[in-house]
Structure 1
Amino acid sequence: MTNDIIITDDDSVAIVTINRAPTNYFDLSLISQIANAYEAAAAGGARAVVLRSDGKHFCAGADFSGGEMATDRNATTERLYREAIKLFRARLPIVAAVQGSAVGGGLGLACSADFRVASSATRFHANFSMLGFHQGFGISETLPAIVGHQAAMDLLYTSRRVDGEQAFTLGLADRLAEAGRETEVALEYAHEIANAAPLAVQSMKLTLRGGLADRVAVVVERELAEQKILWDTADSQEGIRANIAREVPSFIGK
């Protein structure tokens, strides 16, 4: 593992910390490291995992301002999504401690976990329509399963931000914490799960979520195909430009 991921143990719970503060943007390497950390936790005898981040935000998604995402977006995203499928095959229950913002693909990362802990200071943001392209990271499968089809359409079509309390009402957050205590509450939650019979819990997860990775594998192909088309549009170029410049985009439908 590199310093992008820090793994610590709290009795039977593994804590996987993303260490790219303050925004914790992801790339192919980071997603691969998280997947490997999950496997290492299971092999090491952990019974549950807390996924968290250092810094201001849980994950601000992919960084479009430079690197592979800017120079070879199609091929890079295809490899990234295929690596991300491994997150959904994790054997152990995953509790995400979401502080600050989970934006775009960062929301997708949060939704790959079994459960999410948030606070009033948390912001969940499916911002794809304001970037001018189709959602990715399996969100087409995970978000409707978590909040319901209608609520998912609302969040995706409008790019509306929701705070932790709104997310809790929607079912997007499973537990609420005081601001700054997201990891602490997530760890308490993970220990509740870890105190149960581990073989039974893993068997339950396989029944309840065992087909999720296969469904995500199918849907990311659709997501990527749509993204490849829309990334070439003027609206997507405007949306990404405005996002980097922190401006309001002006879309023309082309």
Structure 2
Amino acid sequence: MSTASEQSYEHIIVTHPAPRVALVTLNRPKALNALCNALIAELNTAFKALDRDDNVGAIVLTGNEKAFAAGADIKEMKDKTFAEVYKHDFIRSWSEMTQVTKPIIAAVRGYALGGGCELAMMADIIYAADTATFGQPEIKLGIIPGAGGTQRLPRLIGRSRAMELILTGRNFSAQEAYSWGMVARLFPSTRVVEEAVSTAEQIGKVGGLAVKAAKEAINLGEEMGLGEGVKFERRLFHGLFSTADQKEGMAAFAEKRKAQFKHE
């Protein structure tokens, strides 16, 4: 079975810049990384392969200095009809990265607009260049966000802010996104990918099963009440006591040495 990095892609590039880290780079520079069905299909194929790869602990997703992704490819969709998009559930596949069990860090430079903004919000962590620009401008095209923008943006920045941004289509800065809690950290454009890879490498060094459980607890907890979420968290916590990494991690702490996790 070939790995994601061994496969040949037209619209993305997969590399491994650090131990247990995969870097997925959107590669449609002439179109400012506009999202098309072919790119999304490649992205989903790569993510599924990386999720199965025991040598990968975390994934970084990025674009280029001009654009993380400047939106969906409008030329591809402008002539579609309601019957066509409804029958084939158009852009449903664009959300498949949310099923990846390993952490994904979006390293955003340049424009992250429309589908690009939605793609960044599907990641678990967003790092942004201090010059990056976000936005959901679909309203200006006579449509609304269709890949989770109306659902994820209010959860990340609050209902009132999200309502204003989606209804006006106004772009917003990386500084605003950071101050609202949407972006975890800001960096100069020349450092944002490097910093994301560094964080991914740190994640890759700790126990992989615990990382998977933590991501699952946080994501499912958002859909539960507090009491149910705490109970679910506790069950995952209990389950980790059956892993070799729990034994090694606690033994290493007691013995004042560095843990050697095997991710099992």
- TM interval, shorter chain, is 0.7 to 0.9
- The C-alpha deviation readout for 1:148-193, integer Å capped at 9, x for no partner, is 2222112212222211111110112111111222211111222222
Structure-2 change in CA distance of 1:182 and 1:79 (3 Å):
farther
Tell me, in whole angstroms, the C-alpha distance in 1 between the residues paired with 2:154 and 2:48.
27
In structure 2, the residue matched to 1:151 is 161
Does structure 1 residue 17 correspond to structure 2 residue 54?
A: no
Shift of 1:85: 2.7
2:11 maps to 4
Shift of 1:210: 4.2
8 Å CA contact retained: 1:24, 1:55: no
Tell me, yes or no, if structure 1 residue 28 matches structure 2 residue 37: yes
Question: Structure 1 residue 76: deviation in Å?
Answer: 5.1
Question: Which moved further from structure 2: 197-206 or 72-81?
Answer: 72-81
- Residues 68-87 of structure 1 deviation map (CA, whole Å, 9 limit, x = unaligned): x1332543585442212311
Deviation at 1:143, TM superposition (A): 1.0
Q: Structure 1: where are the runs of 5+ without partners?
A: 214-254
Partner of residue 78, structure 2: 70
Mapped contact 1:89–1:210 kept (Cα < 8 A): no
- Correspondence 1:55-94 to 2 at 5 A: 56-64=66-74, 66-67=75-76, 69-72=77-80, 74=82, 75=84, 79-94=89-104
For each residue in 1:97-151, what CA deviation from the matched residue of structure 2 results, as whole angstroms up to 9, or x when unmatched?
A: 1100001111111111111111221000111222232221111221112112222
Aligned with 1:41 (options 50, 53, 71)? 50
- Does structure 2 retain, via aligned residues, the 8 Å contact 1:99–1:121? yes
Residues 165-180 of structure 1 mapped to structure 2, 5 A cutoff: 165-180=175-190
1:57–1:102 CA contact under 8 A, matched in 2: yes
| Partner amino acid, structure 1, of 2:218 | L
Structure 1 residue 212: Cα displacement: 7.7
The residue number in structure 2 matching 1:221 is none
> Quick check: 1:164 aligned with 2:171?
no
State how far apart, in whole Å, the 1-side matches of 2:180 and 2:19 are: 32
Query: Cα distance, 1:60 vs. partner?
Result: 1.0
Unaligned runs of 5+ residues in structure 2 are: 1-7, 224-264
TM value normalised by structure 1: 0.77
AA matched with 2:157: V
Conserved in 1, the CA contact under 8 Å of 2:114 and 2:137?
yes
The structure with the larger Rg is 2
Cα distance, 1:80–1:175 mapped onto 2, change above 3 Å? farther
Q: Does 1:53 align with 2:93?
A: no
Using the alignment, how far apart are the partners of 2:89 and 2:206 within structure 1? 36
Report the CA distance between 1:5 and its aligned residue.
1.3
Question: What's the secondary structure of 1:3's corresponding residue?
Answer: coil
- Please point out which of 111, 135, 143 is paired with 1:101: 111
Q: CA RMSD in A?
A: 2.0
1:193 counterpart letter in structure 2: I
- Contact 2:65 / 2:189 at 8 angstroms: preserved in 1? no
- Cα distance, 1:34–1:73 mapped onto 2, change above 3 Å: farther
Count how many residue pairs are aligned between Structure 1 and Structure 2: 211
Contact preservation (8 Å) 2:64, 2:110: no
Contact between 2:34 and 2:72, CA under 8 Å: does it hold in 1? yes
Q: Give me the whole-angstrom Cα distance separating, in 1, the residues matched to 2:122 and 2:170.
A: 20
Q: Does 1:120 align with 2:135?
A: no
Stretch deviating more after TM superposition (153-162 or 107-116): 153-162
